[in-house]
Amino acid sequence: MNKIYVWDWFVRLTHWIVAILFLANYFVLPKGSEPHQIAGYIVIGAVVLRLLWGLVTHSPARLSEFKPSIPKALDHIRSVIATGEDDHVGHNPAGAIMIWAMWALILITAFTGWGTQLDAFIHAKWLRETHEIFANITMLAVAVHISAIVVMTRLTHRSYVKGMWFQRKQ
């Protein structure tokens, strides 16, 4: 199936807000600066709103539509390698594991960053180090996510990126 599923506007909006601001915080904005903090707060808000959206929407973006399952993800990967097809609308089983992992990592990164600014933890070196460790793990997950999109696009000849651009359904 090569038809492109285009995510709803809210999913696309929150995806790109999180992606752009996480990358800006990781690569561009000075660590601990006010813009870095504001970007982190916006990321928390965007992820929380996306999770709330996933509770109320009636689309493939609904959280119950892509419950993480390692056995299903492995079966899916084997199937794609064998057939070159991915007929899932929305997240496939491997993508489900990745998105849940990324949401958790992003929230842990953001909340540990927020914690470093609280008076009770302002001098807690362990919390700053935890924040940096989770930022690095999150960046690794981002790299795996992007790599998986490239590999899946090549294996299935289906454009996964187009589903996240602002366009009409095809």
Q: Are 158 and 2 in contact (CB under 8 A)?
A: yes
The torsion angles phi and psi of 122, rounded to 5 degrees, stand at -60, -30
CB atoms under 10 Å from CB of 154, counted, come to 10
Q: Are 28 and 116 in contact (CB under 8 A)?
A: no
Give the CA radius of gyration of the chain: 17
Q: Given this model, what pLDDT does residue 19 score?
A: 97
Q: Given this model, what pLDDT does residue 89 score?
A: 85
Instruction: Chunk the chain into consecutive blocks of 10 residues (it has 170) and report each block's average pLDDT, rounded to whole numbers.
Output: 72 96 98 96 97 95 93 95 90 94 97 93 93 98 96 90 66
**pTM for this prediction:** 0.89
9 Cβ contact partners less than 8 Å away, ≥ 6 residues apart: 166
43 Cβ contact partners less than 8 Å away, ≥ 6 residues apart: 17, 18, 21, 22, 25, 106, 110
Q: Are 53 and 18 in contact (CB under 8 A)?
A: no
Tokens read off for 107: 């929230």
Helical ranges in 116-156 per DSSP H: 125-156
**Helix, strand or coil for residue 69?**
coil
Tokens read off for 166: 């602002």
Q: Given this model, what pLDDT does residue 158 score?
A: 85
Report how far residue 68's alpha carbon sits from residue 3's, in angstroms, rounded to the nearest whole number: 24
Q: Given this model, what pLDDT does residue 3 score?
A: 59
